[in-house]
Amino acid sequence: MLLKGTLRTMPPRLAYYMLSNVRNRPQTISRTPWDEMCSIFLCFIHAILDERRDPDAPPFDRQATLAYLNLRMDQLVEEFEGFCTLYLRPLYEANSDFVSRIQQAITVLFPNEVWRKPAPDAESLEWWGKMRGILDSFVV
C-alpha cells in the first residue's frame, strides 16, 4: 500500500496534508530542511519502537491512516512519557539518558507541541546547532 510506505519516509506535516487532501489536488506545501530532519528523526524513532500489530488486521485506508498519524504524533509530542511506556522497546525504555535525548529532540523539532508546521526558528543556525548536538548524542 503506497500510504504505508510513504508515511515512513514522509515527515508528519506533509503526510498529514497528503492524507487530508481528499480531492487529490496538487500539493501546495513543499518539503523543507525541517521536514528532512523530521524524516530522519521519525525513521530513527520507528526503528526503536515495539509496535505489535495483528497480522490479520485489515490494511488502513486513508481515513484510518490519518487518524493513526494524528494519534501517534499527538502521543509522541504531548504525552511523551506515556508514549515511551507503551511503545519503546524495553531495552531503550530502561535507558533514561536515551529517553532524555529523544525528549530533547522532540522539544527542538516540535516546540509548543506543534507537529504540523516547522519550528519558528527552524531556519536559524542556532536551531541546526541544537539538532546536530542531539543527533550526535545518539551516536556517542
Residue 26 located in a structural domain: no
Average of pLDDT values for 26-46?
79
pLDDT tier at 3 (50, 70, 90 boundaries)? very low
Domain count within the chain: 1
Whole-model pTM: value is 0.73
Convert 81-102 to b/e letters by CB count within 10 Å (16 or more is b): eebbeebbeeebbeeeebbebb
Q: Name the residue type at position 109.
A: L
Residue 51 is predicted with a pLDDT of 67
User: Can you tell me the distance from the alpha carbon of 96 to that of 6, in angstroms, rounded to the nearest whole number?
Assistant: 31
88-114 tens-digit pLDDT: 888 888 888 888 888 988 988 888 888
In a domain, 110, yes or no: yes
Where in the sequence is the domain holding 76, given as residue range(s)?
11-21+31-50+61-139
Q: Is residue 69 part of a domain?
A: yes
> Is 3 among the domain residues?
no
φ/ψ (deg, to 5) at 123: -95, 0
